Structure 1
Amino acid sequence: MVLYQPQNGYCYNSDTHFLYHFIVQNLNTFKNNQGQLLDIGSGSGILGLLIKRDFPKFHLNQSEVQEEFIWLSSKNAQTNGLKNKMYEGNFLTQSFEQKQFDICVSNPPFYHGSVIKSENKILKIARYNDSMPLEKFIQKTYDILKPKGKFFFCYDVKQINDIMLLLNKYKFNIESMQFIYPKRDRDATLVLVYARKNSKSLTKVFPPLMVFENEDFTQDVQNIYEKTQTHSIKVEI
C-alpha cells in the first residue's frame, strides 16, 4: 500500500501498525465482517485503509479535523483504489448525518496535556489529547456506535486506570487488550484495546508484544510489517 505523508508534520508510526494487527486478530474471530466502519482522526488514512483493504465488505468512513490530513486521506484512498467517505471537522461535534457505525477504530491523540508540546500546530493536534480528551472521545464513540458495536483504539498505558473507568462509565466492556513493550526489560508504553458496546463477555489479554530485541525488530514485529506492506512517500502540503 502506497501512502503519502507530510514532509514536515505528523507521520504514522509503529503504533498504527500494531493496532491494525490487533484489530485483524480480533476481527478474524468473526465470520462475516461488514457494515459501516469509522476511522476517527484518520490522519493520512493508514488505519482505515488497511482494514478496508483486508476486509473489503466494510464501508469506510473517515473523520479528520485538519485540512492537510483530509487531503491526504482522500489522496491515499484514491491512490490505492479504495472507496472512502470523508467527514471533515471536529469528531466531537460531528453529526455524521445521523449515521450509526458497526465498528470505530482510532489511533487518537493521547499524550497528556502536562508534557512539553511541539510548537508545530499540526503536530499538537495529532499528538496531544487537549484536542480530544479521553472521556469525550469515549462518550462520543458510544453515541455513534450501533448496539454491540466494536471499538478499537490504542492509548498511553500510563492512563489505563482512566481508560478502564471511563469505558465502564459509558457501558463499554473490554473484550480484549494487548500491552506493547519496547524491550523485555522495559515497562509497557502502549495498550491496545477492543471494547464492545453493552457487552458482558470476559476479557482476553493477548500475549505482550516486544518491539525490539537488541537493536533489531523482534520476529513478531517483522511479521506485522510484512502484513501491512506499506510504502511511504513524503510530500509538501
Structure 2
Amino acid sequence: MSYAISQILAFFVKSNFVKRQKNTYFQFKQFRIEQADTAMKVSTEACILGAWAFAENPQKILDIGTGTGLLSLMLAQRFPKSQIEAVEIEKKAFQQAQSNFKNSPFSSQIRLYHTSIQAFAQTQKAPTYDLIVCNPPFYADYLQSKDEKLNLALHQNCLQLHELAEILDLLLKSSGKAFVLLPPFFMNKFCILAKNHNLLLQKKLHIFHSPKHPILREIAAFGFNESNLVNENLFIRNEKGEYTDEFKALLKNFYLYF
C-alpha cells in the first residue's frame, strides 16, 4: 500500500471516529454547558423551558434542581437585572454547574447552593421569588438504574411532586410565576397537587416532536391569581423533519445554528 493511500485511509478512519464521538459539552451563543459529569444532559425540552418561562421584570429567580446550570444561565441571559439562586443536591452535578457558572459571562448573577430544595426552603423566611423554574424528577413508577446519579436526576427519591407543590407555595411571591416541565401524565397529577396549594394553572405549552407524534412534554405556568387558561402548542419539527419557524424563533438567541 502506498504512503498516499495509507494517509487517505487514516484520514477517513479518523473522520468517522470523530463523527461518532459525542461532545461532552453543548455550546450556546453566549455560554457553554459542560455536561460530562452529570447524569442528565442538555435536552431540547429543557431549552424550551428556559426560553419560554417568563415573569415581568423578575428581580429574584429560583432554579430548583439546576443540574448542569442550563436554566439558570438561559434566564440570566434573558433577564440581566435579575439575581438567580440555583439549588442542586447531587455532588457531581453541583460541581459541574459551579464550573459552568464560573466560566460564563453571567457568574455575578447566579448563586449556587449544594443542598436539597427542602432544606433550602426551610432557610427562607418569606415568599421571595418572582420566578421559579423546575424540571423535576418524574420516573416515580419505573425501575431504577444502578447509576445513583441518574436515579437522583430521574426519580422522585429526593423530590416528590407533592413536595414541589408545597415548596412553590412557600417560596413564590403572590404576584410570581412558577414554571414546571413534566410529561403529560405527571403534569396532570401535579396540577391537582398545585391546586391544593392555591397554585392555579394559568398557561400550558404542549410540546410535540412533530405533528406526527403525541405530546412529548408539557410546560405549565402557575400563579396565585386567577386567569383564563391559555393553551399553546409547539412543534419542534415539521412534517419534513425540519425545525419549525416557531421553534427557531424561540431558541434563536441561544442555539448557534439559528
TM-score range, shorter chain: 0.7 to 0.9
Q: 2:222 aligns with which of 195, 198, 203?
A: 195
Partners in 1 of 2:86 and 2:38 — Cα distance? 22
Segment of structure 1 superposing worse, 163-172 or 92-101: 92-101
The 8 Å contact of residues 2 and 76 in structure 1, kept in 2 or not, is answered as: yes
Superposed CA deviations along residues 46-77 of structure 1, whole A, max 9, x for unmatched, are 10111111111111100000111111222111
Match of 1:234 in 2: none
Cα RMSD (Å): 2.0
- Please give the TM-score of this superposition, normalised by the length of structure 1: 0.85
Q: Which has the larger radius of gyration?
A: 2
SS of the residue 1:115 aligns to: coil
Aligned to 2:183: 156
Change (3 A) 1:72 1:203: same
Q: What percent identity do the matched residue pairs reach?
A: 18
Q: Which runs of 5+ in 1 are unaligned?
A: 232-237
Distance in 1, matches of 2:160 and 2:243, equals 32
Query: TM-score normalised to the size of structure 2?
Result: 0.79
1:93 to 119, 124, 145: 119
Gapped runs of 5+ residues in structure 2?
1-30
Partner of residue 73, structure 1: 97
Q: Which has the higher strand share?
A: 1
Residues 209 and 237, structure 2, Cα contact 8 Å, conserved in 1: yes
Of the two structures, which has the highest relative contact order with CA contacts closer than 8 Å and spacing of 6 or more?
1
Partner of 1:34: 58
Change (3 A) 1:185 1:218: same
Deviation at 1:44, TM superposition (A): 0.8
1:49 is aligned to 73
Whether contact under 8 Å (1:2, 1:230) holds in the other structure is: no
Does 2:209 correspond to 1:209? no
Residue identity in the other structure for 1:103: L
Q: Which SS does the other structure have where 1:98 is aligned?
A: coil
- Tell me, what secondary structure is at the counterpart of 2:35? strand
Whole-Å Cα distance in 1 between the matches of residues 255 and 235 of structure 2? 20
The 4+ residue runs of structure 1 with deviation greater than 4 A are none
Q: Tell me, what secondary structure is at the counterpart of 1:159?
A: helix
Residues matched between the structures, number: 222
